[in-house]
């Protein structure tokens, strides 16, 4: 999903890893993998993205991420895991529906959306739901949408690892788990990038919806 669409790493992995290890152990692993994947995709997409729109959103998200990280550090683990699951389920339903925001995208609204995304990134590892729905509302072609998402997630991934690192959540166990999962992630990102030129968008949306509902249900009900 990440290589194909420009998003999907955090939204799929946050509920799964939070269920396996708890949010405080799972989210740091997710953030480390997201950082590596973003570095892999970022250089090419920087040229194709709408930087005038994405950079203010990314800056607002970067500034808000440490505030959201306070929730990750101090919130009840079970409640946070279920909140992640519910958020993923709602996002999956919205992604499948025909609803999209069709209004204008002025700078104040861009900053507000970025700030919400940053708060979610710090708290849950997922900035995606508001950002993806907002970006996909525009008239741009699929290639530009994908580049915009990759640029945004690349910007925020660099900052998102700092609060967990300072808070002591990125320890030896987190590094070992990341090292074990990362090779498969990198390989599949490359595969998804190639499939972007082959698989029709309608097939992808069906697959994405099914995967999101499954991941969200596991975190919410397990």
Q: What's the distance, CA 147 to chain centroid?
A: 14
How far is it, in rounded angstroms, from Cα 47 to Cα 8?
A: 21
Please calculate the CA angle 96-13-72 and round it to the nearest 5 degrees. 110
Looking at per-residue pLDDT, the higher value among 184 and 127 belongs to: 184
How far is it, in rounded angstroms, from Cα 198 to Cα 201?
A: 9
How far is it, in rounded angstroms, from Cα 140 to Cα 207?
A: 22
35-82 per-position pLDDT tens digit: 888 887 787 788 888 888 899 999 999 999 999 888 888 888 888 888
Judge whether 171 and 77 are in contact, CB under 8 Å: no
pLDDT value for 209: 67
Looking at per-residue pLDDT, the higher value among 8 and 156 belongs to: 156
> Global pTM?
0.79
pLDDT value for 77: 83
pLDDT value for 173: 95
**CA proximity to 6, closest of 136, 113, 103:** 136
Q: What 3-state class would DSSP assign to 98?
A: coil
How far is it, in rounded angstroms, from Cα 31 to Cα 27?
A: 6
How far is it, in rounded angstroms, from Cα 216 to Cα 222?
A: 10
Q: Where are the domains of the chain?
A: 2-221
Instruction: Tell me the pLDDT band of 101, cut-offs 50, 70 and 90.
Output: confident
How far is it, in rounded angstroms, from Cα 143 to Cα 64?
A: 28
What percentage of the chain reaches a pLDDT higher than 90?
A: 24
Tokens in use for 216?
Answer: 């969200």
How far is it, in rounded angstroms, from Cα 3 to Cα 36?
A: 13
Is the CA virtual torsion 90, 117, 163, 153 positive or negative? positive
pLDDT value for 21: 93
Judge whether 115 and 60 are in contact, CB under 8 Å: yes
137-192 per-position pLDDT tens digit: 777 777 788 888 888 988 888 888 988 998 899 999 999 999 999 999 989 988 88
**CA proximity to 144, closest of 46, 12, 62:** 46
């Amino acid at each position: 999903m990440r290589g194909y669409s420009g998003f999907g790493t955090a939204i799929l992995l946050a509920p799964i890893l939070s269920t396996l290890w708890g949010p405080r152990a799972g989210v740091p692993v997710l953030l480390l993998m997201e950082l590596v994947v973003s570095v892999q995709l970022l250089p090419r997409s920087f040229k194709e993205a709408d930087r005038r729109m994405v950079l203010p959103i990314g800056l607002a998200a970067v500034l808000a991420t440490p505030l959201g990280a306070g929730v990750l550090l101090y919130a009840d683990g079970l409640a946070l895991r279920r909140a992640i699951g519910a958020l993923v389920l709602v996002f999956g339903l919205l992604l499948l529906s025909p609803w999209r925001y069709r209004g204008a995208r002025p700078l104040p609204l861009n900053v507000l959306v970025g700030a919400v995304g940053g708060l979610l990134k710090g708290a849950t590892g997922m900035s995606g739901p508001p950002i993806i729905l907002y970006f996909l509302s525009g008239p741009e072609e699929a290639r530009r949408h994908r580049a915009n998402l990759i640029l945004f997630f690349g910007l925020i991934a660099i900052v998102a690892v700092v609060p967990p690192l300072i808070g002591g959540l990125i320890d030896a166990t987190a590094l070992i788990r990341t090292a074990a999962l990362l090779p498969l992630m990198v390989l599949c990102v490359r595969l998804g990038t190639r499939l972007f030129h082959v698989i029709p968008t309608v097939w992808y949306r069906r697959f994405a919806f099914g995967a999101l509902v499954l991941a969200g249900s596991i975190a919410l009900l397990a």
